[in-house]
Chains A and B, each alone.
Chain A
Amino acid sequence: MKIEIIDEKFDPWQSLVDYKRDELQNNPKIGASSVFLGTMRDFNEGDEVESMELEHYPGMTEKYLTDIVNNAIKKYKIIDGLVMHRVGHLNPTDPIVIVATWSEHRDNAFNATRAIMESLKVEAPFWKKEDTGKGFRWVKPAASQETTESTNEI
């Protein structure tokens, strides 16, 4: 498993190739590789976005990402999983997050990658702040994910 928080621009594809070669030794049991890449858009909620700051809670972030991937390994019986996520200053087109899973058959990898990404969106403590050129604003979570068990209305 690879969990990494990265504070500078990175090449997600090269990272994948390196990990599969060096850590998975191109494991011949792997029949399916599934990858999700999230990249930064130059618009959000009707406004142009010039750049973005991404912050996280060191320690808690790594713990939750590790738990999320471990749960996916158990539930979807994947061979391995990888999550790399940016923090710091990002510009449009920059990679934000890459999630990859490897399994014997495609269903497991497809489903695990999706499940890891959906859990990351609601559990991993990251926050985005956008610069629209007119000022900074904190990004609000999508309406569909606003209510979780541990969200408390004050």
Chain B
Amino acid sequence: MGKVMKLYIKYFASVRDMMGKDSEVIDIDTNLTVFGLWETLTLNLKSDMKVMFAVNHEYVGKDFKLKHGDEIAFFPPVTGG
């Protein structure tokens, strides 16, 4: 079995509505990209929602590799201002 890392996940706005929660903490195998994590979390959901990814308060692309202790946020395109 590979090493396990702990990830702190946050959901905002319509993504939170879809997930039915605003946050969770998971232990998962290492060598996961942010998009891989999103696919794992939404395996049973059918959605064509546009989602943005942030890790430790920075926008990242889908291939960004996660590490132990990261805070990952999933949310729709922003609508402030």
Q: Which residues of A contact B (CB under 8 A)?
A: 38, 54-57, 59-60, 63, 85, 96-97, 117, 120-129, 138-141, 145-146, 148-154
Q: Is B6 an interface residue (CB 8 A)?
A: no
Q: Contact between B80 and A85 (Cβ–Cβ < 8 Å)?
A: yes
Please tell me the number of chain B residues within 8 Å of chain A, measured between CB atoms.
30
* Chain A residues, Cβ within 8 Å of B17: 138
Q: Contact between A154 and B81 (Cβ–Cβ < 8 Å)?
A: no
Question: Which of A60, A120, A124 meets B73, CB within 8 Å?
Answer: A60
* Chain B residues, Cβ within 8 Å of A154: 38, 42, 47-51
Which 6 A-B residue pairs are closest in the complex by CB-CB distance?
A126-B80, A127-B13, A150-B59, A60-B57, A141-B77, A139-B79
* Chain B residues, Cβ within 8 Å of A124: 78, 80-81
Q: How far is the CB of A139 from chain B (nearest CB, A)?
A: 5
Q: Contact between B77 and A129 (Cβ–Cβ < 8 Å)?
A: no
Q: How far is the CB of B67 from chain A (nearest CB, A)?
A: 18
Q: Which residues of B contact A (CB under 8 A)?
A: 10, 12-14, 17, 35, 38, 42, 47-54, 57-62, 73, 75-81
Q: How far is the CB of B55 from chain A (nearest CB, A)?
A: 10
Given A55-B12, A55-B13, A127-B75, A96 and B54 contact (CB-CB distance below 8 Å):
no
Q: How far is the CB of A67 from chain B (nearest CB, A)?
A: 10
* Chain B residues, Cβ within 8 Å of A121: 78, 80-81
A120 (CB) vs chain B CBs: closest residue: B81
Q: Contact between B80 and A57 (Cβ–Cβ < 8 Å)?
A: no
* Chain A residues, Cβ within 8 Å of B53: 150, 152
Q: Contact between A57 and B81 (Cβ–Cβ < 8 Å)?
A: no
State A107–B75 Cα separation when bound (angstroms): 36
Q: Contact between A97 and B80 (Cβ–Cβ < 8 Å)?
A: yes
Given A57-B75, A125-B54, A138-B13, A152 and B80 contact (CB-CB distance below 8 Å):
no
* Chain B residues, Cβ within 8 Å of A125: 12, 54, 73, 75, 78, 80
